[in-house]
């Protein structure tokens, strides 16, 4: 018979990897099951870079979690020696009333976070790669920057293994059921039992969390790499910040400094302009008309882009209707199941703190972190 575990974690991507680490570091006997190999590209945690920032325009309630996430990212770097975070600074750009600007300002003021408000002229002077409209402004935050998704996932898996977790790759869970005081999990290879189940399914949330009643929608997103005219030097992290820019038509684009050498140029993407998909049906080919639309949009903000198109890659967002996360005990199985899903395209910067919260919920039944915003009850379909 298979050994029994304290906790089984399903999905070893961003969130599940962090959960496996935090759970095993606290002494729990952990089994992690992952559908694909370690650090793969078929979910949501690949593509070389993710924005991180503290003056959070989505809601000030995220700020304490971000402060903790920054501490845990530092520790992850120290504990593994991997390059994880680059705090090159970041500007949230647009009209003063745009969400990136007004929402970031709200969070910065509410939490006393260091920031500067810059007008368009000052932005162009300090960051010559950016040429916003004359009536755009920017909230600059020195503590913003980027984190490396693949290195983060690899670091968490490495630490989880060091703490004794059993991590099984290419072994998807096929189903689970309540069993005695805990759960029983089936795969094609075996059946495992545990006191606690943690579900971190990413874009597979619609199939793994049907009984949650949350209408998750999965979206195909594209990341683009362009070679700037004049080379990457002005785009190195010491010269070029991360940015999110809302244009006058409400379209948001964001981008990164050049961090992977001259051959990979600089990465840019649309924020929230995806198309519905499923992990099985997602179109992985990026078409010329998509590249042309991106090239046109970035050219409006960055005079030395698009330059030359280098490559593109697809990824998935798992959206909730209000774009806030779902992190909670499962309402139908509150004694034995924890869920972390619906990260709605902005979850990566929270990966370490979500790992910590999930470990609190699974091992203690509660967390001291403020997660009221992530309660699935707010989204559950009203009974007919």
36 binding ligand FAD? (CB under 6 A): yes
Let me know: does 85 contact 144? Beta carbons within 8 Å.
no
Closest CA to 43 of 305, 296, 313: 313
Q: How far is the CB of 205 from ligand FAD (least distance, A)?
A: 8
Closest CA to 136 of 106, 101, 171: 101
Scanning 38-46, 69-77, 231-239, 358-366 for contacts with ligand FAD by CB under 6 A, the matching segment is: 38-46
100 binding ligand FAD? (CB under 6 A): no
Nearer to ligand FAD, 240 or 349 (CB): 349
Rounded to whole angstroms, how far apart are CA atoms 32 and 17?
Answer: 8
Scanning 105-113, 126-134, 293-301, 315-323 for contacts with ligand FAD by CB under 6 A, the matching segment is: 315-323
Scanning 43-51, 121-129, 296-304, 360-368 for contacts with ligand FAD by CB under 6 A, the matching segment is: 43-51
277 binding ligand FAD? (CB under 6 A): no
Tell me: is residue 133 an annotated ligand-binding position: no
Select from 176, 225, 226, 348 the one that contacts ligand FAD (CB under 6 A): 348
Tell me: is residue 218 an annotated ligand-binding position: no
**What residues from 171 to 190 belong to the interface with ligand FAD (CB under 6 A)?**
172-173
**What residues from 216 to 275 belong to the interface with ligand FAD (CB under 6 A)?**
221, 223, 269
Select from 7, 9, 11, 62 the one that contacts ligand FAD (CB under 6 A): 11
Residues 6+ apart with CB under 8 A from 144: 51, 52, 53, 54, 55, 87, 88, 89, 90, 241, 242
Let me know: does 295 contact 229? Beta carbons within 8 Å.
no
Q: In this chain, which residue has its C-beta nearest to ligand FAD?
A: 13
Select from 21, 22, 50, 240 the one that contacts ligand FAD (CB under 6 A): 50
Scanning 29-37, 89-97, 229-237, 330-338 for contacts with ligand FAD by CB under 6 A, the matching segment is: 29-37
Q: What are phi and psi of 379, to 5 degrees?
A: -115, -10
Scanning 22-30, 36-44, 154-162, 178-186 for contacts with ligand FAD by CB under 6 A, the matching segment is: 36-44
Tell me: is residue 28 an annotated ligand-binding position: yes
14 binding ligand FAD? (CB under 6 A): yes
**In the block, which residue shows the tokens 């991360």?**
242
Tell me: is residue 8 an annotated ligand-binding position: yes
Rounded to whole angstroms, how far apart are CA atoms 13 and 140?
Answer: 31
Q: How far is the CB of 312 from ligand FAD (least distance, A)?
A: 11
Tell me: is residue 14 an annotated ligand-binding position: yes
Let me know: does 39 contact 173? Beta carbons within 8 Å.
no
Let me know: does 252 contact 93? Beta carbons within 8 Å.
no
Rounded to whole angstroms, how far apart are CA atoms 7 and 197?
Answer: 6
Let me know: does 316 contact 279? Beta carbons within 8 Å.
yes
Q: How far is the CB of 383 from ligand FAD (least distance, A)?
A: 28
**Edge-to-edge, what's the strand order for the sheet holding 85-86?**
50-52, 145-147, 85-86
DSSP codes joined into one string, 92-106: EEE-TTSHHHHHHHH
Helices (H), 224-378: 288-299, 351-364
Rounded to whole angstroms, how far apart are CA atoms 348 and 68?
Answer: 14
Nearer to ligand FAD, 329 or 346 (CB): 346
- Give the count of residues interacting with ligand FAD (CB under 6 A): 37
Binding-site residues for FAD sit at: 6-36
**Residues lying near ligand FAD in the complex (CB under 6 A):** 10-16, 33-36, 43-45, 47, 50-51, 172-173, 200-204, 208, 221, 223, 269, 315-317, 343, 345-349
């Amino acid at each position: 018979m298979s050994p029994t575990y304290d906790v089984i974690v399903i999905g070893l991507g961003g969130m599940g990897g962090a959960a496996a680490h935090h759970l095993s570091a606290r002494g729990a006997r952990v089994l992690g099951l992952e559908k694909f190999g370690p650090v793969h590209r078929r979910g949501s945690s690949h593509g070389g870079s993710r924005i991180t920032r503290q003056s959070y325009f989505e809601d000030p309630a995220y700020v304490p979690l971000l402060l903790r996430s920054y501490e845990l990212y530092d520790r992850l770097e120290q504990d593994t020696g991997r390059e994880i975070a680059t705090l090159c600074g970041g500007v949230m750009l647009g009209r003063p009333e745009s969400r990136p600007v007004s929402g970031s300002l709200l969070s910065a003021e509410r939490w006393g976070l260091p920031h500067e408000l810059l007008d368009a002229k000052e932005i162009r002077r300090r960051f010559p790669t950016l040429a916003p409209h004359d009536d755009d402004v920017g909230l600059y935050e020195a503590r913003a920057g980027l984190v490396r998704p693949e290195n983060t996932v690899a670091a968490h898996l490495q630490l989880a293994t060091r703490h004794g977790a059993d991590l099984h790759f290419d072994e998807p869970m096929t189903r689970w059921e309540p069993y005695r005081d805990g759960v029983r999990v089936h795969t094609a290879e075996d059946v495992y039992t545990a006191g606690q189940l943690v579900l971190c399914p990413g874009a597979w949330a619609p199939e793994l969390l049907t009984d949650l009643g949350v209408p998750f929608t999965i979206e195909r997103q594209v990341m683009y790499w362009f070679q700037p005219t004049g080379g990457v030097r002005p785009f190195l992290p010491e010269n070029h910040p991360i940015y999110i820019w809302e244009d006058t038509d409400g379209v948001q684009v964001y981008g990164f400094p050049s961090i992977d050498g001259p051959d990979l140029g600089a990465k840019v993407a649309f924020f929230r302009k995806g198309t519905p998909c499923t992990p099985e049906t997602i179109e992985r080919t990026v078409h010329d008309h998509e590249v042309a639309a991106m090239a046109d949009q970035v050219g409006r903000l960055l005079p030395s882009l698009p330059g030359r198109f280098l490559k593109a890659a697809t990824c998935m967002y798992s959206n909730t209707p209000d774009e806030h996360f779902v992190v909670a005990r499962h309402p139908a199985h509150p004694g034995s199941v924890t869920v972390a899903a619906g990260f709605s395209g902005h979850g990566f910067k929270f990966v370490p703190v979500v790992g910590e919260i999930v470990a609190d919920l699974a091992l203690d039944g509660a967390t001291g972190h403020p997660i009221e915003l992530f309660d699935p009850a707010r989204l559950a379909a009203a009974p007919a």
